[in-house]
Amino acid sequence: MSEIKKVVLAYSGGLDTSIILKWLQDEYNCEVVTFTADIGQGEEVEPARAKAQAAGVKEIYIDDMREEFARDYVFPMFRANAMYEGEYRLGTSIARPLIAKRLVEIAAETGADAISHGATGKGNDQVRFELGAYALMPDVKVIAPWREWDLNSREKLMAYAKEHGIEIDFAKQSKKSPYSMDANLLHISYEGDILEDPWNEPEEDMWRWTVSPEKAPDEPLYLELSYEKGDIVAIDGKPMSPAQVMEYLNEVAGAHGIGRDDLVENRYVGMKSRGCYETPAGAVMLKAHRAMESLTLDRGAAHMKDELMPRYAEMIYNGYWWSPEREMLQAAIDKTQEHVNGVVRVKLYKGNVIIAGRKSASDSLFDESIATFEDDAGAYNQKDAEGFIKLNALRLRIGAKRRQK
């Protein structure tokens, strides 16, 4: 362990990472650099500075990464309409490559020998952090305390904190939510406690960002989302940055009971896991983006995107954001978005995102003169359909004759 002189730790200032900080100092006898990312988790990050200083940390990084997270990670992912296993909007998964990137950048800036994180040996996050780090800094050393120590319960962690005089609000910890939670601009997740039994319904007081659909307003809220190249750039005519879009949609959609999910998913490490998620902005963005594409995206491109999407989503879920195959797919996806421009009107009502209209002044492929059920003045010759059908039926007819013999 003596070759490790300096470590960059992904640090929140909470119980786990406060203990990891002390553990690294003692077990590795090394200097620790802390990195705290504000990616919209909704909690004050500055207190982490005081805690790190109290622990003797000299180099402290606290970065506001909300815009970068929304612009360079969430928005590109949603251009692909990405959903893992058809339901999960990848709220935790998409934050990890950004954190991994910044960890190795700080390691390079400070001359650190290693990076460290607080992900457990049972979860996906250890894979995501480390695959990202290795992709960007191939020779980086990674220290994952949960794979080394025997502090495998909250009780043991609390006892370690008391024994070593680590500054922890023990009264607050005793009142802390029983769930393992993760939050950022895109979502908040809940795992553990009663959720470990997939038969148990989540308790209503667990949810933090959304009201229950039953208690949502009786009047719907209409929004007009303006798109440029597949990204929302304005709401109700007001220009917004990517992070502002997400913050606003989280607020208004959450108030209408939108974005709750209760899933059993397949972790990359092999086990099934039950988790609950609140993703208000993501629920609106995905629904509206599909509506915008339905008007402006060619059928062949749209169908191929849908075929590729599960692979793309799986790459993100499994930690391959920085892989050549994800970057290759991203280039193809972004190419399809050149004409995804226009406005989508959505209605938010009691847990539902309802498409109430869509239009595109210059990029719509919808031709009313052809699609109409009224007189189309010769725009479409219905007699042409006969030959089209017969040619497509040719192989079916040949096969049927063979079966008749």
Does the annotation count 193 as an active-site position? no
pLDDT digit string, tens, across residues 182-230: 999 999 999 999 999 999 999 999 999 999 999 999 999 999 999 999 9
Selecting among 180, 273, 294, 364, the annotated active-site residue is 180
- Which residue, chain included where needed, has tokens 């303006």? 226
**How deeply is 330 buried, as exposed, middle or buried, from its count of CB atoms within 10 A (0-12, 13-18, 19+)?**
middle
* Catalytic choice (12, 16, 79, 274): 16
Residues 9-38, mean pLDDT to the nearest whole number: 94
From CA 130, how far away is CA 100, in angstroms rounded? Answer: 7
Strands lying side by side in the sheet with 188-191: 180-183, 188-191, 272-278, 260-266
| Calpha distance 129→127 (Å, rounded) | 6
- Is 150 an active-site residue? no
CA 357 from centre of chain: 27
Tokens 């719907």 sit on residue? 220
> How far apart are alpha carbons 187 and 259 in whole angstroms?
9
Tell me what pLDDT residue 171 has. 46
What pLDDT score does 68 carry? 98
Strand ranges inside 72-220, DSSP E:
114-116, 141-143, 180-183, 188-191
CA atoms of 341 and 360, how far apart (whole Å): 6
Q: Is the pLDDT of residue 181 over 50?
A: yes
Catalytic position from the list 66, 79, 89, 96: 96
User: Is 2 a residue of the active site?
Assistant: no
Beta bridge partners of 358: 344
∠ CA 135-120-180, nearest 5°, is: 120
The 10s digit of each residue's pLDDT in 109-160 is 999 999 999 999 999 999 999 999 999 999 999 999 999 999 888 789 889 9
Catalytic residue among 79, 125, 128, 260: 125
**Domains, the chain, ordered by start:** 6-79+88-176 (3.40.50.620), 183-297+340-359 (3.90.1260.10)
Nearest to 357 by CA among 281, 366, 335, 375: 366
Looking at residue 153, its pLDDT comes to 81
**Span 299-328, mean pLDDT?**
98
The token pair at 158 is 């609390």
The strand order across the sheet containing 60-64 reads 60-64, 31-38, 6-10, 114-116, 141-143
- The amino acid at 290: R
Q: Which letter does DSSP use for residue 2 in this model?
A: T
Look at residue 302 and tell me whether its pLDDT is greater than 50.
yes
Query: Which H or E run contains 228?
Result: strand 221-228
Tell me whether residue 125 is one of the annotated catalytic residues. Answer: yes
What does the pLDDT read at residue 42?
A: 87
- From CA 94, how far away is CA 100, in angstroms rounded? 11
Would the pTM of this model clear 0.85, i.e. be above it? yes
138-171 residues labelled b (16+ CB within 10 A) or e (exposed): eebebbbbbeeeebeeeeebbebbeeeebebeee
pLDDT at 108 over 90: yes
- Looking up tokens 């940390």 gives 57
Q: Check residue 315 and give its pLDDT.
A: 98
**pLDDT-based confidence at 2, cuts 50/70/90?**
low
Contact 244, 67 (CB under 8 A): no
Q: Which region holds residue 377: left if phi is over 0, alpha if psi is between -120 and 50, else beta? A: left
Residues pairing with 232 in the sheet: 227
- Among residues 78, 79, 135, 97, which one has the least CA distance to residue 317? 97
Q: Is residue 172's pLDDT more than 70?
A: no
CA–CA separation, 83 and 309 (whole Å): 8
For residue 362, give both structure tokens: 């210059």
